[in-house]
Structure 1
Amino acid sequence: HLKTTPCTPLVANPNFNSVTCDGFTVTLTQNTPGNPDTYFWDFGDPASGPLNYSSLPNPTHTFTDTGVFNIKLVVSIAGLCSDSITKPLGVYPNFFPGFINSAPMCRNVPIQFTDTTYFQYGNVTAWRWDFGDGSTLADTSHLQNPIYTYPGPGTYNVELTVTNDKGCVNTYTKSITINDNPVLNLLTADSIYCGLDSLQ
């Protein structure tokens, strides 16, 4: 008679993102059902030597270069039932969105926003601006360097989301303060005023 030992079927399930743009060090996660008791990771990075492998459920690895790495995960229960899967991971660090804006920042004065996104790999392919102006639904733009005019004074959160051709998506948010256009009773050589101010 052949004696068999039943076991729960396993399906290896790595659930890390397919691209990372924050740096060379990545935590690789998995959510394999069935409670496997053994894990084996091959990071597809032979230049890292013995660090190319791990037996932790959710290991952290520092890649030695940029590019696409084929990550292999093998899971098993009591050495009887096992499953494996390979998933690619693109590593493209140093992708930092940012912007500057013109001055003065006053209501009803057009403000020039200039993209200053820093990147080392790939090219930026899309921009999405949200100027945080709750008075209208038309406070967004997909231009690289848009101009926007705020109708009223206040503090606004300006959000820029950029995408590149490597699959990286990142967002930068900055608060700006829009000033009112007061009536100026006295103007001196050192005064800062808005273009639409009125003088008395």
Structure 2
Amino acid sequence: MMRLVTRWLLRACCVWCGVGVLLWVPLPGEVGTPARACGIGFSVTMVADGQPALAYPQSPDQAGTPIGVFALDSVAQIPIHFTEDVSRLPTPINVGAFTWHWDFGDGSRALGYALTHTYQSPGTYVIHVKVTQGTQQDLAALSDFDSAQVTVVPQRLSQPPTATARSSARYVQVMHAVTYSVTTARAFDGSPLTYTWNFGDNTTATGSTVTHTFTQVGDGDVALIVQDGRGTRSVVTLPVTIVAEVPVVHVTASTRQLAGAGAVTFDASGSTAPASYPNNRIARYQWDFGDGTTMLTISPRVSHTFSAPGSYTVTVAALDRRDIPGTGTLTVTVANPPLVTALWWLSVVLISGSVLYLTALLLRRWWSQRHAPIA
């Protein structure tokens, strides 16, 4: 499954990458390819005109398959700026210490970490990047550091579709499902839209709402590719972090039923952080009381006053030292106030000097000229 340079097996720092590819980072002074690129994980990503390549929707270890693919088309005879985003590597590298070899798939080659290339003709091209350091090496014998497929068109169509999207969770526990959905979408030409989701782990799905389960830990973006009837595309990205464990949240309330407006005390002190992370603990709590009120606290105990009748879903996110949240919810119901409370000591002054008193549902009336109350 994995294409690896075996001579690095004993002398490199190894980091697991979310698409099932091992990412190799040489130790200081070592010589060779510093990394394999991929989508979700501790990865590097090819970038064209500020657009990151998405993970190719099948295993990049299949023969001839690029690691990434650019969802947006480039235009022939217009320069494209290429570089590699190495910001997600767990250990920063000095990009200037390596020689970056680019093969643009159209017979052109160039050296450099960041550079510009112009495709003269429309078509589909696969860009290959290889990296060397120090001594001369046989490029043909080296595996790609990165590769990505780019589509070049004669001209770019105006007014691409627009869309927004959301996910059910920003932080996801491995092997737990997360739902992605389109919230708004518009095609300027009025044509039907298609939705393709790229999860960064070499898998895709189609539809306005999809569910996905990540099988590896990592960090990256899930991309929604929206295409109209003309073939014009737009890309919306949603960040995602997949972790092995999240905090376990236990929250209690002093009461879940209120007869009217009143305060409730919540206690999340029973929440725990994953012990697999060194010196981990719950660092803070984010509260959402379901009535438009939110609060950030260090203390696990908080009090909140509900002022209107209704049913409120209270959510607390307990964040550990990694800033990874676990969530817990409970419901608080506030009843309508009893009628006797609403009418208590309510008085209405009427014409002709009469006064109506409504006290404890008893209607009394008397005239102002020394008449005794009449029940």
Higher relative CO (Cα under 8 Å, sequence separation at least 6) belongs to: 1
Structure ID, larger Rg: 2
Q: Give the structure-1-normalised TM-score.
A: 0.50
Normalised to the residue count of structure 2, the TM-score between the two structures is: 0.29
